[in-house]
């Protein structure tokens, strides 16, 4: 399955973005993880079908009520990532 790393910037820390992202990812049946970075960005690695990934990227622009997403950088990764669920790392 395809694997994408997203770096999401804007007002995305301290607003519940990681928890919101995890809820959305789980609802779509995605695997992977999400975490805060020291740069103020949120990084997510998501594994799923092309349609699941496209939908999650579209939802990522919305975020929870207090979030403001300014940019999302996408990077395709090796597709042999072995993950069993979706986790919030930190």
Mean pLDDT along residues 52-75: 98
Q: Which of 36, 59, 66, 87 is catalytic?
A: 36
Q: Which of 18, 59, 87, 90 is catalytic?
A: 18
Is 22 strand, coil or helix? helix
Please indicate whether residue 7 is annotated as part of the active site.
no
pLDDT digits (tens, 9 = 90+) for 4-51: 999 999 999 999 999 999 999 999 999 999 999 999 999 999 999 999
Cα–Cα distance, 17 to 21 (Å, whole number): 6
- Domain containing 41: what range? 3-80
pLDDT-based confidence at 1, cuts 50/70/90?
confident
Residue 88, in any domain of the structure: no
User: The CATH number of the domain where 50 resides is what?
Assistant: 3.30.70.100
Positions of E strands within 3-85: 3-11, 31-36, 42-47, 68-77
Q: Among this protein's residues, is 18 annotated catalytic?
A: yes
Give the mean pLDDT of 53-72. Answer: 97
Instruction: Work out how many domains the chain is built from and give that number.
Output: 1
Q: What is the pTM of this model?
A: 0.94
């Amino acid at each position: 399955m395809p694997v994408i790393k997203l770096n999401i910037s804007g007002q995305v820390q301290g607003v519940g973005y990681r928890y919101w992202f995890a809820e959305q990812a789980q609802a779509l049946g995605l695997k992977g993880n999400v975490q805060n970075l020291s740069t103020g960005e949120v990084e997510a690695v998501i594994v799923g079908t092309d349609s699941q990934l496209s939908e999650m990227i579209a939802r990522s622009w919305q975020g929870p009520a207090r979030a403001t997403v300014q940019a999302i950088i996408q990077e395709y990764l090796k597709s042999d990532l072995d993950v069993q669920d979706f986790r919030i790392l930190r």
